[in-house]
Amino acid sequence: MFGHHHGIIIVTRFYENVSRHKLEGRELQPGEKEENVVLEFDPKPPQEMLVACLWSISKGADHRTDLFSFAAITDEPPSEVLAAGHDRRIVPIKPEHVDAWLSPDPNNLATLYAILDDRARLHYEHRLAA
């Protein structure tokens, strides 16, 4: 899909599943079972994020039902997301790159990688999701 089917979703926050013990910065205790919690990550200052995505349409075997799908591109997390116990985060791109991202040239993947590398560098605060 990369270099062919690009999209953007606009979000003001994102949610991630993390293990409670990782959130608390500790190892699992003997006999303790892993517990999942959902964290809400908000950029500070609050703002809309233009998240880089890839999409596809898979033709159904019966030729009547197609599967429409997309995935947000993720990468290594900034330190505050890692400290909260999560190992990745969505990649927000800068507004000046939107047109080039949405009109990819499959013969110039270097430009697309450069857009991802020149991402918006945001700081995130987190809390347990309600």
Look up tokens 């949405």; give the residue: 102
- Extract the runs of DSSP E, i.e. beta strands, from 1-130: 6-11, 14-19, 36-44, 49-58, 67-72, 74-75, 89-90, 92-93, 123-128
Mean pLDDT of the chain: 92
- Residue 43's pLDDT is 95
Greatest alpha-carbon span in the chain = 54
**For the segment 41-84, what is each residue's pLDDT rounded down to a tens digit?**
999 999 999 999 999 998 877 777 888 899 999 999 889 988 89
Q: Rounded to an integer, what distance in angstroms lies between the CA atom of residue 112 and that of residue 130? A: 36
- Residue 66's pLDDT is 86
Within 8 A by CB and 6+ apart from 34, the residues are 19, 20, 21, 28
Please give the residue that has the higher pLDDT: either 62 or 5: 5
Provide the residue type at 72 as one letter.
A
Residue 114 in this model has a pLDDT that exceeds 90: yes
Whether residue 48 contacts residue 116, with contact meaning beta carbons closer than 8 Å, is answered with no
Within 8 A by CB and 6+ apart from 112, the residues are 2, 3, 6, 100, 101, 104, 105
